[in-house]
Structure 1
Amino acid sequence: MRLGIDGRKIPEARTRGPLGSIEHAAELGMEGTFFRTVLEMSPRLDRGELRAIRQRSDELGMYLETGLGKVNPYCTPETPELRDAGDGDILLGFRRMMECCAEIGCTELWVGTASSKGHYPRRFSVDRFRTDVSWADQMVAIEKFLGKLVPIARDLGIHMNIETHEEITSFEILRLLETLGTDALGVVFDSSNGLQRMEHPVMAAERVAPYVRQTHLKDAAVVPFEGGALMQFRPCGQGVVDFREVLAVLLAANPNVNLTIENEEPFDEGDKPYSARHLEICDASWLAAHPDLTVIEYAAYSSMMRTYQARMAKGEASDILRGSRRFGYAEALAAIAGSAAHIRECLRDITNSLPKN
């Protein structure tokens, strides 16, 4: 397993650009970069630009991963660049993006099903709870659109990998794979997004591990709060995710999968409040919207929260309610270094626990 970093959120990504960000990642000791969409590498899908990015990544001995975009037609107005890529024909836009990716040897491609909008309160921060269209109807539209993309991906030798994102459950992703097949579909396992759907990280990893082809690694603090839970992202090793267990599960299923740290983006200068998400996990209507959630997983999740809460009370974990913080360039680099050190320590422990021949 090689350890890299998210090309969108690496500090100074916008000012350095893709080539500069790859070099920055190498300077930070990373072994690869994962640009969320190929349009972030080249907004015009310029073949020359894409070949140069591939070449520089290869020169540095780094992996290069990328993706396509949201495959939920109800999100299309929020991502006009996908339609622009096809001159108004969004299906053509996806085809062009896939062809460009295949030409530079990027055949594992991220796709998302919706988006998260943290400035909205509680459940309305995720598209699962839109009031203009039900999540069930969105899932139908997602399946239909993926059904149009699968033959294109299959012909190009590509896997479109669905992220375990904030709005979708691992159960729902698995049903998409069961319906549409896995010859052109897989999973991007995000280690903490499932917490917002009350999925225990280890249990979620066990469900999707056979299909995981890309990763996003981040951690989060989660504690009981006001009839639900409060969640805040943390560097790997500083939250509730047991990375030794999660990585052992992923490694057993696919020892060659690349590991990508998805760090928090730095703020501008000055202090800002911690971004926290209130999860309404005790609300009857919230629970009704998660019919796959079992009592066993609910209990494991609750125990995980109480364990973190006890660590916080002892001063062994950072207080989720402590207020504002500075999180600029230096703090972001420190968080990345801490995440990388923790992941590498977990990998050493896993390797040392394997039977010796």
Structure 2
Amino acid sequence: MTKLKVGVDSYSLKPLDLSPFELLEWAAMNEADGVQFSEVNVPPGQALDKTFLQELRSYAEENRLYVEWGGGEHIPLDLATGKAKDIAAGNRKAAEQAFHLGSSTVRSCSGGLMRWEKDSLPTDEFLRLMAAALREQKSMLRDHGVVLAVETHFEFTSFELVRLFDMCGAAPGEYLGVCLDTMNLLTMLEDPLLAARRLLPWVVTTHVKDGGLALTGDGFVSFTAEAGKGVLDFAAIFETLAAAHPKINLTVEDHGGDFLIPVNDPDFLARLPDLTVPELVRLLGLTVRTRELMDEGKLAVLPRERWPGACERRIKRDLLAVRRIVEGRPL
């Protein structure tokens, strides 16, 4: 396998309250290869202006660290009110910041939970509105040399993202792409390896996150796991990514918590029309493996409230495990 760089996402270390420079320093001290700034903890009185960003870029380059940027959005609606929202200005600002940092990507996450809300707009309507908004941003993003990387979050499946890109008339690597969050795919009822293959031409950044999938009386429950200790086939996913994108960065993102996926509800399943029986069977296989690991005491849900006390030690172990997998060494 091509030796891919392994870095850390800022959200993972949010409890440490590190400034951007402190976060880069943490990465360097812990042998991470870079940082993706999903969130930015700016010191009081400090503006994210050109000078600050260029100094941050210089510091990263001096320490041979990659920098990836965030702050983008792709749903042109206020999801709390349903009213139209201008995302163009925010995306332009994020693209300008990425340009000054020398980053060619801007992670986009609009944070919706539409499938879990019965009064939500149909998915096709979300796709139509997004396509109309994002097509208008093509020139701006290309002028800044930036790809808007839509995260595989709890909003859209891999099938729907591919349809969105087609509706936008986009080509891979042009102005729209994907931030592949490996564990979030479970929550959208997708086998992570199969989804990675479906999205492969579009992947420009990653959130490498392991997890489990438990079967309960209320449905599936997805949850995060320490890298290498969950049920995701990281070796196969990394090999797939490396073959197509030998310079892709593997950015570790981790946190606590679990999430109910109400597969017992026919209305919920109807909102995921691309789910096939073969893929569902693969997911059931992951629940069997999850149960085995949990029964053996090797896997458990880490409650979100316990993350602040666990985050730094776990992220260090995550980085080590991902690097070992990339290098083909045993965990």
Distance apart, 1:208 and its partner CA: 1.0
Distance apart, 1:22 and its partner CA: 0.9
Aligned match for 1:203, one of 185, 188, 194: 194
Q: Which residue of 2 aligns with 1:277?
A: 259
Q: How many residues align?
A: 319
Q: CA offsets, 1:117-156, max 9 Å, x none?
A: xxxxxxxxx2334425333322222111111111211222
**Residues 64 and 319 (structure 1), Cα distance of their counterparts in 2 relative to 1, 3 Å cut:** closer
Q: Is the 8 A contact 1:7 1:13 kept in 2?
A: no
Distance apart, 1:176 and its partner CA: 1.5
Matched, 1:128 2:115: yes
Matched, 1:115 2:111: yes
Distance apart, 1:67 and its partner CA: 2.2
Distance apart, 1:157 and its partner CA: 2.1
SS of 1:66 mapped into structure 2: strand
Distance apart, 1:44 and its partner CA: 4.3
Q: Is the 8 A contact 1:70 1:76 kept in 2?
A: no
- The 2-side partners of 1:95 and 1:276 are apart by 34
Aligned match for 1:143, one of 131, 136, 139: 131
- The 2-side partners of 1:132 and 1:177 are apart by 22
Q: Relative contact order (alpha carbons < 8 A, sep ≥ 6): 1 or 2 greater?
A: 2
Matched, 1:188 2:179: yes
Matched, 1:35 2:9: no
Q: Is the 8 A contact 1:239 1:308 kept in 2?
A: yes
Distance apart, 1:258 and its partner CA: 0.6
SS of 2:77 mapped into structure 1: helix
- Summarize the alignment of residues 196-235 of structure 1 with structure 2, pairs less than 5 Å apart: 196-235=187-226
Matched, 1:100 2:81: no
Distance apart, 1:45 and its partner CA: 3.8
Q: Is the 8 A contact 1:39 1:45 kept in 2?
A: no
Q: Is the 8 A contact 1:128 1:134 kept in 2?
A: no
Distance apart, 1:96 and its partner CA: 3.3
- The 2-side partners of 1:336 and 1:323 are apart by 16
Distance apart, 1:77 and its partner CA: 7.0
Gaps of 5+ in 1: 84-88, 117-125, 265-273, 353-357
Q: Which residue of 2 aligns with 1:240?
A: 231
Identity, % of aligned pairs? 27
- The 2-side partners of 1:35 and 1:91 are apart by 20
Which segment drifts farther, 45-54 or 154-163?
Answer: 154-163
- Summarize the alignment of residues 61-76 of structure 1 with structure 2, pairs less than 5 Å apart: 61-75=64-78
Letter in 2 for 1:155: D
Please report the TM-score for the alignment, with normalisation by the length of structure 2: 0.87
**Residues 97 and 276 (structure 1), Cα distance of their counterparts in 2 relative to 1, 3 Å cut:** closer
Matched, 1:260 2:276: no
**Residues 145 and 204 (structure 1), Cα distance of their counterparts in 2 relative to 1, 3 Å cut:** same
Matched, 1:340 2:331: no
Please report the TM-score for the alignment, with normalisation by the length of structure 1: 0.81
**Residues 108 and 222 (structure 1), Cα distance of their counterparts in 2 relative to 1, 3 Å cut:** same
SS of 1:8 mapped into structure 2: helix
Distance apart, 1:76 and its partner CA: 7.1
- The 2-side partners of 1:36 and 1:72 are apart by 17
Gaps of 5+ in 2: none
Q: Which residue of 2 aligns with 1:308?
A: 290
Distance apart, 1:318 and its partner CA: 2.2
- The 1-side partners of 2:10 and 2:135 are apart by 28
Q: Which residue of 1 aligns with 2:24?
A: 22
- The 2-side partners of 1:43 and 1:295 are apart by 52
**Residues 168 and 199 (structure 1), Cα distance of their counterparts in 2 relative to 1, 3 Å cut:** same
